[in-house]
Structure 1
């Protein structure tokens, strides 16, 4: 027979939720379903655990599963949490398959937003993992697991765990000692976040996830739709050189996978994640200069208009008015490549008015 005891005289315990230690309960005072979990901690950590749990009860965020109450029953602390109908990211990946990049990025947007709110309140989650990310039927992701002792972890530990969770989402396994390869922006971001030193700032992480959640990398767009018209490619080039001008120094990652295209056709170069450039888009001189970025841009625009990366002797069949611009950008002599201002002038002459 199922146990029908009550916590604090109001939370009637029902069945277990999934395979974990969380149980469904009915709040007889508020007439609602809740989820409850016993805080199983050593006696010496109980007071600290209760303090952190009560702090977590003050968090209010759309992507956080709320801690509604903290009760002590027979000396044992219990968390009473909002009941959210959904499946965990862990179960979703194991039951089906790893997620597409855009869906994983959207999950990252939700979870990072939740962590930012928690960190601003002085709370470190400490348990970010695929099993604590719930996917709802409406497509939202919410983070559960607040209220447990964080053992004095730093906020950076949560960001590392978020990266490991996103790695699991797109690869179906934890990162282990060797995170997955691949030069798409999400995997590059994940590898950068997993580095013990020199992880990207939170603002870069947020911007990259925001864009990956809604935009398509240029290489994926070309693979799906074929080569793009020269005028469209000229517009992409103008957007990238604006970003390079604002960057003001060697970028080192100009390649189709790092150029994101939004629903309106506007392009944006993703922030530098120091993941390196694939050989087809690396300038022959191998120097860390703006001229090398321009060669990489030429190779990127070549791919966009011709459908394949440049190769020695490769003809320009579709480039049209863009052809002379590409010849200058892909010169083996850095001194023969155009400046940013010259390139902007040439591309404006090709782009739609």
Structure 2
């Protein structure tokens, strides 16, 4: 016999949602579907749970599953939440495959925005995990699970859990003791966020996720489209050089996977987040100097124009006017490499930009 129980005289319980304790219900007062969940906590945490739930009901954000009502039925607390049609990140990854980096970054953008709003309101989620992330048919990632006791967790705990959730999204497993290797900006960011010393600044996390959600690493661009024309590569070199100049110190991570290309062909060098430069893009002298960054830039531009990183005896067959610049950048003796100003002048000449 179908159950027709109502909560608070208005929420008619319907079928379970998934395998957990979440239930679909119909709100007869507002004529809408809602999701309801019994708050199962030890008796000593009940008051804390109700306090957290009522605070969470004031949180309004497009990437948050809203808590609509908090009620007590026969002495048992219940949460009434917005019904969001979607599939959990956990189900998507386990039933299909890990997400591409760009899609995972878009998930990260949504979740970080939700957590930033929650933390600004003094609310710590405390339960960020793949099962509490819903992927909707419209491409949004929505965070559920608000309203439970956070057990005095700090906001930094949510950021660690966010990184672990995104790690699961691209690797199909939690980070454990050995987070995924890889010099690409996304995995470098995850390792930095999971590091015991604490995550990088929110600005770095936000910028990296924003860029990866819409831009493509240079190595991915070359793999998809083939070697790039010398003039385009020179323009990329100018963009990276400007970023290095603004950086003002040794970067140590100039390599194709760390150079993001936007829809207009503009390049952005991302910060290095506790990950070393790949050997093919590391200067032979192994020094932490500006000259070493310029060698790495030369190797990066070599890959962009030739389709493969430089190797002993490798010929420049596609570089055209860029070839003399690359020869100087890749000189074994750092003193034979151009200065930043000389390199900027040479690259401007190739692109036809005004000095």
Common fold by TM > 0.5: yes
- The answer for the alignment partner of 2:165 in structure 1 is 165
Listed as ranges, the gaps of 5+ residues in structure 2 are none
> Retained in 1: the 8 A contact 2:103–2:213?
yes
In the TM superposition, residue 337 of structure 1 has moved relative to its aligned partner by 1.2
CA contact (8 A) 1:167 1:173 kept: yes
Residue 116 of structure 1: CA displacement?
Answer: 0.4
**1:154 and 2:175 matched:** no
Q: Who is 2:203 aligned against?
A: 203
Corresponding residue of 1:55? 55
Task: Identify the residue that residue 29 of structure 1 maps to in structure 2.
Answer: 29
Counterpart in the other structure of 1:219: 219
CA contact (8 A) 1:284 1:332 kept: yes
Which residue is equivalent to 2:349? 349
Mapped to 1, the partners of 2:352 and 2:345 lie a distance apart of 13
1:202: Cα distance to partner? 1.1
Q: Work out the CA distance in 2 between the residues paired with 1:218 and 1:47.
A: 53
Distance 1:8 1:352, change over 3 A: farther
Corresponding residue of 2:15: 15
Matches within 5 A, 1:1-353: 1-353=1-353
Contact persistence 1:101–1:186 (CA under 8 A):
yes
How far, CA to CA, are the matches of 1:288 and 1:153 in structure 2?
A: 39
Once superposed, which parts of structure 1, at least 4 consecutive aligned residues long, lie more than 3 Å away?
none
CA positional deviation for 1:274:
2.2
After superposition, what is the alpha-carbon deviation per residue over 1:16-51, rounded to whole angstroms, capped at 9, x for unaligned? 001111100111110100000011111111111111
Q: 1:290 to 1:198 in 2, by over 3 A?
A: farther
Partners in 2 of 1:88 and 1:255 — Cα distance? 35
Task: State the distance in 2 between where 1:118 and 1:198 align.
Answer: 20
**Matched positions, count:** 353
SS for the counterpart of 1:273 is coil
After TM superposition, the score normalised by the length of structure 1 is 0.99
CA contact under 8 A between 2:188 and 2:272: conserved in structure 1?
no
Contact 1:2 1:15 in 2 (8 A): no
Q: CA offsets per residue over residues 280-304 of structure 1, 9 Å max, x none?
A: 0001111111111111000000000
Q: CA deviation at 1:352?
A: 4.2
Runs of at least 5 residues in structure 1 that lack an aligned partner in the other structure? none
CA distance in 2, matches of 1:305, 1:54: 58
Give the Cα–Cα distance (whole angstroms) in 2 for the partners of residues 272 and 96 of structure 1. Answer: 31
Q: Deviations over 1:229-267 (max 9, x none)?
A: 110000000000110011000111100000000111111
**In structure 2, what is the Cα distance between the partners aligned to 1:16 and 1:258?**
45
TM-score between the two structures when normalised by the length of structure 2? 0.98
Contact 2:191 2:274 (8 Å CA) reproduced: no
RMSD between superposed Cα atoms in Å: 0.8
**Structure 2 Cα separation of the partners of residues 196 and 154 of structure 1:** 15
Cα separation, 2, equivalents of 1:14 and 1:316: 68
